Structure 1
């Protein structure tokens, strides 16, 4: 045997069995120096290389190339390429002819070919280059193919892209039916890996689709069935309840791919993505139900405490409570309005720190404590809040809260009827807004004082006073009205003052509605409002009006 083939390794015997004299290349000793040099280089490299030689493109290749052509070896050795690759000759034949004609190399990246190398047309991908091999006279004697199979990389990338698209498509869906419908829609976009896809729904869901027998899954949650000649995979999609009536993903597998471990693992990942989406949807639904129940309980508790405001002659009092819109955000905001035995009107606005059921329960405790401490005493609001601090400490009400307690009494000097005196104390709460009878608005600022519950002794709380002329309006509110994420508190206060400027003609009820419209719910916090309006003094009738009234009365005599 010619020593040329000594470097063929495991292919040496295959080279020896070829009757080269019967091929268009002729006996080995008669091969051209160019062919012998090309074969020598091919057999000495460990990268997949093949030679297509002569007019028939007779094939010679090294050990590494065998893996690329599978069962076509050893018959391919010494055979014309068109005979070896009839199924892909329409793709590669013109490329080889072009190199022989133009002497220009080709470059192909991840080319898809349906190659029959294991007894069926298998989907394969290759990156390769065809280059001309020139003889001594400059003519093309053959073509060298340096190739790399990229099937595994291409399939992995293709499947990862599909899994990412599926995960994105299911991420925001909360209804199981929508998830299953979207799953089928997305998976049908990949006819190469999953030529046909459907979801079988359980009869328990009231569907007419057949249910896959549970015995089919004795071996696990993914089963491949090729008994009918076509591989079909069944994937159980268990719901969070763990019942036997689960949906099942059924998919036909490609006839052009081996049903290997990576293929089954891909289908399993598809099933896991859908199952995760179903569980996530069920969790969200359960969370919404729990949040709804918590919100309903909290609102009932709060509304049971937030009673209609007390009223006094010459005054209007309006209140509002708006719960936060964010799920499971329970609040500690409250308002109160009650008459004291001496006839004065008490107004309260407060906010317990926190947004949960505990905050709502603590709010109820503090609200009732404040009512009890304040009712029946002639002490000033500052003294009442100091007593409340002591009561909270003694009764172990372990919480912090901001609050304003105000007392409204008549203050009518001679010739100035309808005036009232507002005395208030502020425990760390936002300042009230006063709207004067001429429409100007401003904050009733006072030096800041500590919150309720921060110190039970040694705290000096102070009263603040302002005279309210007829037509004045005072607005008490909680921070949820004006605070917004990303905005400064001073900006919110300025917007509030602006919203109340020139609103002196509104009733107390209208002011409440105006503020809730002007400051939409942020979803972060509850809102409580107390609006006090001193009714304008009755306008004295003009001389013309009195004359018309007198004439009208005379005409009826």
Structure 2
């Protein structure tokens, strides 16, 4: 009869210490052939198996089953299931009675059970089946339980989902306070893992600090007495995990149904790591925004310092506007200029350096000043001034490209222009009609020219207005250039009653909405007779 226990392995001593005669199963020599065969089979398998035998469902189990019941072993061996599992009897008792009564086998997957197997009601999960064990006559003598504990997998998946929700919630936060507002609801909703959650941004500790069950702080992350605190004591235990770089601390109290073991502490560290990454991301984003603002302010200050009030003459009225595309992270290289040469010639310039950063603004400043110097020195037609600027850019190593249009009043009503790849100026006649002053295409400044630059002369009617602008006024995503230019002339048509200031205001009111580039406007009106 003792051969039944040949496969008991490390449980041999436990089986030998049980007074089987005093159990409902009786002395082992009196066990039925069905029970002996079931025990032999159970002890020889390495999968967790227990037998719940007779009307009282007495436990007989193998080595693999022991870890699933923890401290209930070895006292559970030979005892009725109701005495071994009082905390979960309301769940498993009806299942056992059903199978014993002939209603067929049961099957449950990842069933949550609060088991007292380590001195507290621990959250556990099991996948198992209860099946009847019958004798030769078909009678049911007991129930076999083939089980697998899935606690680790269930908790792991649950915590992964929590980390995913936390990451999603923190993804768009732009301020540290916003991170807290987003994080706490997610973490506090995880009541199966945390009893309480706080984020202390005043914390300064760089090392995790824990509190014992009395609330006394302990050093070095160790509970009082150097013993791991788990189980019921976790209800009052506080875990503090620092958030490096933020000066903050994640403060949590574990669920009373979880052991604050290495796996749990690793999970808390993952939560803290997710929060730390979010704080780092916000700090980097804020630093980038501060840098962008500083860069923009520097560029805009430089640009505005160069956009001086326009010079006028008694025969020409000039108005200018500069509109910054505030939605952009950087400022561009758009500029205007209006100055009078020593011989009294009014010279007008509108240009645009490629790019939208401080380098573009610096290049704009160079080109503007060099162009002024060339214009004053050579006192030549606009085409020669642009040609001189091309040469200066090469000599000075100005590694950029730009568009520009220069116009000079030869006399009271005669305008001479040269265009280097810039949008064509618009002419508003005294009768209210509007057209574009187009000419032969000309290359941009800063690229190799294949032919000399040309001048274009226009005789203006008294009271006519010419509007110069940069491409930010008309260019829009999804809209072709021809359509944009038609819209410009349409908006100018019939506006002959407006002075240059009014024309600039009207165009800005009309076109600035939705602009994603800076806008420069220069309007000049020749005097009436």
* TM-score normalised to structure 1 length: 0.82
SS, match of residue 318 in structure 2: strand
* Alignment match, 1:414: none
Q: C-alpha deviations, 1:209-260, integer Å up to 9, x for none? A: xx677898699998354679532112223446xxxxx333322223322222
Worse overlay, 269-278 or 109-118: 269-278
2:256 is the counterpart of 1:260:
no
Worse overlay, 6-15 or 218-227: 218-227
* Alignment match, 2:368: 367
* Alignment match, 2:242: 236
Q: C-alpha deviations, 1:359-416, integer Å up to 9, x for none? A: 21221111011112223655321121111112222333333211111223457xxxxx
Check the 8 A contact 1:329/1:525 in 2, yes or no.
Answer: no
Check the 8 A contact 2:353/2:364 in 1, yes or no.
Answer: yes
Worse overlay, 66-75 or 281-290: 281-290
SS, match of residue 352 in structure 2: strand
Distance in structure 2 (CA, Å) of the matches to 1:525 and 1:68? 68
* Aligned residue among 403, 428, 431 for 2:424: 431
Check the 8 A contact 1:221/1:236 in 2, yes or no.
Answer: no
Q: 1:294 to 1:379 in 2, by over 3 A?
A: same
Worse overlay, 489-498 or 475-484: 489-498
Deviation, 1:334, is 0.6
* Alignment match, 1:67: 67
Q: Report matched runs for 1:89-168 at 5 Å.
A: 89-101=89-101, 103-168=103-168
**Which ranges of structure 1 fall in alignment gaps of 5 or more residues?**
203-210, 241-245, 412-419, 539-557
Check the 8 A contact 2:218/2:224 in 1, yes or no.
Answer: no
* Alignment match, 2:221: 223
Distance in structure 2 (CA, Å) of the matches to 1:31 and 1:174? 72
Distance in structure 2 (CA, Å) of the matches to 1:13 and 1:308? 102
Distance in structure 2 (CA, Å) of the matches to 1:517 and 1:267? 55
2:10 is the counterpart of 1:4:
no
Q: 1:212 to 1:319 in 2, by over 3 A?
A: closer
Q: 1:60 to 1:446 in 2, by over 3 A?
A: farther
Deviation, 1:34, is 4.3
* Alignment match, 1:543: none
* Alignment match, 1:346: 347
Deviation, 1:428, is 1.8
Distance in structure 2 (CA, Å) of the matches to 1:520 and 1:41? 85
Worse overlay, 345-354 or 95-104: 95-104
2:503 is the counterpart of 1:511:
yes
Q: 1:26 to 1:452 in 2, by over 3 A?
A: same
Check the 8 A contact 1:341/1:376 in 2, yes or no.
Answer: no
Q: Report matched runs for 1:18-417 at 5 Å.
A: 18-28=18-28, 30-101=30-101, 103-202=103-202, 223=221, 225=223, 229=233, 230-239=236-245, 246-313=247-314, 315-326=316-327, 328-375=329-376, 377-410=378-411
Q: C-alpha deviations, 1:475-534, integer Å up to 9, x for none? A: 322233334456655554455455445544443333323333333466853222222345
Q: 1:354 to 1:4 in 2, by over 3 A?
A: same
Distance in structure 1 (CA, Å) of the matches to 2:63 and 2:478? 67
* Aligned residue among 438, 449, 460 for 2:452: 460
Distance in structure 2 (CA, Å) of the matches to 1:134 and 1:473? 108
Superposed CA RMSD in Å reads 3.3
Aligned residue pairs: how many? 515
Distance in structure 1 (CA, Å) of the matches to 2:405 and 2:101? 96
Q: 1:509 to 1:99 in 2, by over 3 A?
A: farther
Distance in structure 1 (CA, Å) of the matches to 2:334 and 2:405? 12
Distance in structure 1 (CA, Å) of the matches to 2:174 and 2:318? 44
Deviation, 1:115, is 0.9
